[in-house]
Structure 1
Amino acid sequence: MSNDSLESWSTLNASWEDIGAENGTDLSPKDGFDYELSPYLIANILISVSILLFSIFGVMGNGTVTWFLVFCMRRNPFTIFILHLAVADLGALMSLSSFLIMKVLSSFSDTITNLHLLSVFECSFFFMYNTGQYLLTAISMDRCVSVVFPLWHRCHQPPHFSTLVCASIWIISFLLTVNGMVLLIFTVTRYPFFYLLLVNAMLCLPLMTVSTLVLFIKVYFRSKQRKKGKALTAILLALLFFLFLAFPLTCVLLICFFTPLINNNVESVTISVALLCSCLNCSINPLIYFLIGRNKRARSRESMKVILRRLFKEEENCREKREVPVQTRM
């Protein structure tokens, strides 16, 4: 794989040197730091710093959720989905942070190793990013079925349905990412992830939008005598934030694929903003769990472990209460 093919392929890899060159400034380290920074370069630097800062909190939050669900709580079909989603968000944040760090380092060294590492981190980010989309789509559909057809959902769901769905999603996402990497290696197309992004926009977006709308109607417009579940409210908020923060990256990249390049600087900043939105989406789920699961009447501060246990235990208790009448009738 040639050096030029790597540079031309990477949609996210709009180098800061190109921004400086287009504005008449040379950003090579040999000229020292005596150059005028363009507004586009400053915007990219500020956005990259913001992504790294938010990634730190996101990695801590998703790491805490992952550790708690693996070691501190008995898993159920609902928490299995949440566990895999936290792992996907954690991987996406770590890949994006590594990509940005290598991006800065590659600005001072044009070695082929840096370009290969950039491609590896970018492929890893797309893998985790798409896995998160598929997992949240599966979660939204599962919650939608559980609310619309509760009896069918608890009586006809296979014992290890959640595990099988999550494993299938990881395998499918991995195969699609490998397919993109093969297209990259053999330079079959300039945009190897184009079809993957198109599938996300045509499949995940409609399914998630319909499921979110159904959940919103069933939860907030049903009888006031029935208590709204905190876990379902947390999923609703996660879906809404996902629609507003995660899908813009897919839309921006698809627009860049379909429209000719008018201004590389504007495109680079737009993609950076979309990456920032994706970073916020991957980091916000633990905050949603914390805010929804905490006891507002408690005077003392509660640990994250207690809050997560209350949030996810409620879903397990509700499931057990629904299964008792079915077993009694039998």
Structure 2
Amino acid sequence: MKQTLIGSETPEPTPNSTRMNAFNTTCFVVSVLAVLTCVCGLVGNSLVICMIRMKRSPFCVYVLNLAVADLLFLLCMASVISLDIIFLARNTKVCEVVRRVKYFAYTVDLSLLTAISTQRCLSVLFPIWYKVHRPQRLSTVVCTLLWTLSLLMSIVASYFCTHFRGYDKQQCFTVDVIVNIFIFGTLTPMILSSMVLFIKVQRSSRQWCRQSPRLLLVILASVLMFLVCSLPLGVYSSILYWVDLPQQLKILYVSISCLSSSLGCSANPIIYFLVGRWRRQRLQEPLGAVLSRALQEEPIIVGKETPSTGTNEVGPESQDPTVPVHTNPVMGLA
């Protein structure tokens, strides 16, 4: 005990209290970093939405929906962390609803990345078949179905697993198992299609056009960031939540997974910018042009077979000197 100036005694800090203070400080710092990351991600995804909201190419439809899902996730994540830090409101109704919306956006994010990677994998493996048989509004239909299905799953999970409605742990566990089966079932084709894309790019690197495969790089980088940064949050909600572990370990894992998932959802705009600026020598360029270059659907060349792009390439010996030959506008942007 230590004697103070007014004669009262104060207890000396114990090793347990010191460790607890260090633990609380670590969690607080990680939470603040997560909120700052969410703010940066909100700005980046808002810029992406503003720049491509009028574009109607199939891939831009996916990117627009992905940016909206990321924006919703980051907004909910920042709100939940702020409520925990400022008001210490962990089990209020508002916090519970925001958490459910956050996991809804998380499910949409995962589903959209799976649809993007799978669709691009088909376009690389079977370019002619994909170009001929692909429905015109496939991207819009797929995005609508994914949002609807994810919303229904979130409503069912919220009905059985909310703490302010007669919480039944057994019912919640059953619903959680069903949701996790869907999530990991969605995760499998995303991983497989991404591996196929990566192998195809490596093997066909000498057969591509002079233009770099930017779109494939965007897809592969986005999937990789999700697996590395955002997947730990899903692992906690599906597995570690039901495992009997020390409470401090769970809290620390949740704090780190919140930071990593915030990084994952904030990284896509940065990926678009870096890929769009790849191999470009101009330092000052409008963000819209950089984004369009990163997201443009490039002609896919596999071996010597290329799908028709609407322009006929004519050899120099057979060109009509009176008729100018127009180059492919897509290739002209390289």
Match of 2:167 in 1: 187
CA deviation after TM superposition for structure 1 residue 247, in Å = 1.2
Check if 1:68 corresponds to 2:51. Answer: yes
Bigger-Rg structure (1/2): 2
CA deviation after TM superposition for structure 1 residue 37, in Å = 5.8
Match of 2:204 in 1: 222
1:231-276 deviation digits (Å, cap 9, x = unpaired): 1111111111111111111123333244213x10111111111111
1:263-304 deviation digits (Å, cap 9, x = unpaired): 101111111111111111100010000000015443432232
Which runs of no fewer than 5 residues in structure 1 stay unpaired?
1-22, 26-34
Check if 1:244 corresponds to 2:228. Answer: yes
Check if 1:290 corresponds to 2:273. Answer: yes
Residues paired across the two proteins, number? 287
One-letter amino acid of the counterpart of residue 60, structure 2 = T
For the residues of structure 2 that align with 1:257 and 1:36, how far apart are their CA atoms?
A: 24
Match of 1:178 in 2: 155
CA contact (8 A) 1:234 1:288 kept: yes
In structure 2, do the counterparts of structure 1 residues 258 and 143 end up closer, same or farther at CA, with 3 Å as the change threshold? same
For the residues of structure 2 that align with 1:186 and 1:154, how far apart are their CA atoms?
A: 52
Within the candidate set 203, 209, 231, 2:191 is matched to 209
Match of 2:59 in 1: 78
One-letter amino acid of the counterpart of residue 203, structure 1 = G
CA deviation after TM superposition for structure 1 residue 157, in Å = 1.1
Q: What SS does structure 1 have at the residue aligned with 2:239? A: helix
Q: What SS does structure 2 have at the residue aligned with 1:224? A: helix
One-letter amino acid of the counterpart of residue 215, structure 2 = A
CA contact (8 A) 1:106 1:115 kept: no
CA contact (8 A) 1:201 1:251 kept: no
TM-score by length of structure 2 reads 0.79
Match of 2:146 in 1: 169
1:177-220 deviation digits (Å, cap 9, x = unpaired): 01111112342337466236522553122111101110001112
CA contact (8 A) 2:33 2:259 kept: yes
Structure 1 residue ranges (4+ consecutive) displaced by more than 4 angstroms after TM superposition: 190-193, 325-328
One-letter amino acid of the counterpart of residue 45, structure 1 = F
Within the candidate set 295, 301, 311, 2:284 is matched to 301
Match runs of 1:272-287 below 5 Å: 272-287=255-270
**CA RMSD for the aligned pairs?**
2.6
CA deviation after TM superposition for structure 1 residue 58, in Å = 0.5
Check if 1:50 corresponds to 2:30. Answer: no
For the residues of structure 2 that align with 1:253 and 1:200, how far apart are their CA atoms?
A: 14
Identity among equivalent positions (%) equals 30
Match of 2:99 in 1: 122
For the residues of structure 1 that align with 2:106 and 2:116, how far apart are their CA atoms?
A: 15
CA deviation after TM superposition for structure 1 residue 57, in Å = 1.1
Which runs of no fewer than 5 residues in structure 2 stay unpaired?
1-14, 301-305, 314-334
Structure 1 or 2: more helix by fraction: 1
